[in-house]
């Protein structure tokens, strides 16, 4: 059954309310494709039926499921390699020097999707910074989607996923083949933990991180939400902390973030 144009306005509002994600009307077709699984699970025949169920609320769980199903989870290991190179070669050595008394480093992969970003950080630390083995390392991955969070925690990837960005020697060293899939080695897994969190909800950062990856998620938010999320990140980072955004994203908050343009990549320094 084809949904009438009227049907999309309401689910668009639901998605915005529950995830802060804007669905442009030109991409309404995504509702049809991305909500198929949810319709099946709920025994529903059509999007119109789902919209009626949403309208007849209260259905907080159903609303959240719709918002989660509409997220774009595109990611890969070592995405934007130059960013990881610059972190490894220049930023981390300085940060490690600054933290030699506390011997503790915290990373936040905010909007971690299926976990490749968090595991890339962990593999990089194990491979290039053996001196950190006695340090307290915490890599937190958070995402709106419960399904992504449980996939991340499982740390199992298909061939198509490990073929994207993962150096062959890392595959051999840090993943273990299990049937048709490859699983992240327990030594790497234990550096990482994953939680479901909505970046648009306040008090999202109860504690401090040294490095925040907030990449390729703000593109889905309206300007006001971007501003709020960037304030949260500002609170989460100390003066020598590091923020990475996606390469097409910018904070546009000159009072809070200094743009650090390097030949390889760009990162952002909190201004105090």
Ligand X SMILES: C[S@@+](CC[C@H](N)C(=O)[O-])C[C@H]1O[C@@H](n2cnc3c(N)ncnc32)[C@H](O)[C@@H]1O
Residues that bind ligand X (CB under 6 A): 19-21, 71-75, 79, 111, 113, 117, 143-145, 148, 198-200, 215-217, 220, 246
Please name the residues in contact with 234: beta carbons below 8 A apart, sequence gap of 6 or more: 256, 257, 270
Alpha-carbon distance of 113 to 115, in angstroms, equals 6
In the complex, minimum distance from the CB of residue 33 to ligand X, in angstroms, rounded to a whole number? 16
Nearer to ligand X, 22 or 98 (CB): 22
Nearer to ligand X, 111 or 188 (CB): 111
In the complex, minimum distance from the CB of residue 112 to ligand X, in angstroms, rounded to a whole number? 6
Nearer to ligand X, 79 or 106 (CB): 79
Nearer to ligand X, 99 or 243 (CB): 243
**Cis upstream peptide for 47 (omega within 30°):** no
Nearer to ligand X, 15 or 188 (CB): 15
DSSP 3-state assignment of 68? Answer: helix
In the complex, minimum distance from the CB of residue 2 to ligand X, in angstroms, rounded to a whole number? 27
DSSP tag of 264: S
Which backbone phi and psi does 228 adopt, to 5 degrees? -65, -45
The token duo for 131 is: 């001196």
The token duo for 245 is: 């955004």
In the complex, minimum distance from the CB of residue 52 to ligand X, in angstroms, rounded to a whole number? 25
Asked if 52 and 9 touch (Cβ cutoff 8 Å), the reply is no
Nearer to ligand X, 50 or 217 (CB): 217
The separation between the first and the last C-alpha atoms of the chain, rounded to the nearest angstrom, is 55
Alpha-carbon distance of 112 to 152, in angstroms, equals 8
In the complex, minimum distance from the CB of residue 36 to ligand X, in angstroms, rounded to a whole number? 18
Which backbone phi and psi does 196 adopt, to 5 degrees? -85, 125
In the complex, minimum distance from the CB of residue 76 to ligand X, in angstroms, rounded to a whole number? 6
């Amino acid at each position: 059954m084809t949904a009438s144009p009227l049907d999309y306005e309401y689910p668009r509002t639901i998605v915005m309310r529950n995830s802060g994600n804007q669905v442009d009307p030109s991409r309404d077709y995504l509702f049809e494709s991305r909500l198929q699984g949810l319709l099946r699970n709920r025994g529903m025949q059509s999007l119109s039926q789902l919209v009626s169920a949403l309208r007849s609320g209260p259905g907080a769980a159903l609303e959240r499921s719709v918002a989660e199903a509409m997220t774009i989870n595109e990611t890969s290991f070592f995405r934007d390699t130059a960013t990881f190179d610059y972190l490894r070669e220049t930023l981390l050595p300085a940060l490690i020097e600054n933290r030699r008394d506390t011997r503790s480093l915290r990373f936040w992969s905010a909007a971690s999707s299926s976990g490749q970003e968090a595991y890339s950080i962990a593999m990089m630390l194990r491979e290039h910074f053996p001196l950190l083995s006695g340090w307290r390392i915490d890599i937190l991955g958070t995402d709106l989607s419960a399904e992504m969070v449980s996939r991340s925690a499982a740390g199992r990837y298909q061939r198509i996923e490990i073929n994207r960005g993962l150096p062959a020697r890392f595959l051999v060293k840090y993943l273990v083949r299990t049937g048709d899939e490859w699983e992240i080695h327990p030594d790497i897994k234990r550096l990482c933990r994953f939680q479901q969190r909505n970046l648009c909800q306040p008090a999202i950062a109860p504690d401090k991180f040294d490095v925040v990856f907030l990449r390729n998620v703000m593109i889905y938010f309206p300007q006001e939400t971007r501003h709020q999320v960037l304030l949260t990140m500002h609170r989460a980072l100390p003066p020598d902390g590091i923020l990475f955004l996606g390469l097409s994203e910018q904070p546009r908050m000159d009072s809070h973030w200094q743009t650090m343009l390097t030949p390889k990549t760009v990162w952002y320094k909190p201004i105090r």
